[in-house]
Amino acid sequence: MAGTSSGIVAGLTAVALGAVGFLAFQAQATVPASLGGRAGASASPSTTATGTPGSDPGSTALPGGSGTGERVVYSLGANRVWLVDRRNQLERTFKVAPGTVDPLPGMYWVTSRSSAITGTDGVPIEHVVRFTEVDGLAVGFSAAVSSPVRPAGDPNVRTGGIRETRVDGEAMWDFATIGVRVMVIR
């Protein structure tokens, strides 16, 4: 009986490892070649129709080299977000105000969400969509409940909150559910 149990466990383990390997292969196969590094790794800026991302902060065109399929694209240089659907069609773009701590360029996924909390700067925020951490500080998109897009409070306070208007925050909340990809570009 003990031999049968260990055989079953070994078989289930092999099946589980095979499934994990297959899912890892699928995930890697969907990563554009220019983004093949690990999440959070530095990536060289990709070019767009208007040059490098952020070279024309007034441009609302979706930057080239920002991946394909459903994703949130966040440009550090342009302080702009693009919400792109599964058909690679732009749903919305808007300006944001970065926190005092930026994520590194790379590929991330939405890992958690909160409908309403208080930000690290003491400001009540809503529609919080988190996608990474930097030195233990959560980084994500949020909207201040009672103030404009610019972060309030002490600029010396470390915050990973990328602030958007309440209307844009609601659009982000509806779009960026757990597991949606977030591409951070320069």
Domains by residue range for the chain, with CATH? 33-185 (2.40.440.10)
What pLDDT, in 10s, does the model give residues 135-152?
A: 999 999 999 998 665 555
The mean pLDDT of 120-130, rounded to a whole number, is 93
Look over the chain and give the mean of its residue pLDDT values, rounded to a whole number.
Answer: 77
Predicted local confidence at residue 124, as pLDDT: 94
Predicted local confidence at residue 107, as pLDDT: 97
Long-range contacts from 125-132, C-beta under 8 angstroms, 24+ separation: 125/161, 125/163, 126/166, 126/169, 127/166, 127/169, 127/170, 127/172, 127/173, 129/172, 129/173, 129/176, 131/72, 131/103, 131/182, 132/39, 132/40, 132/103, 132/108, 132/182
**The model's pTM:** 0.69
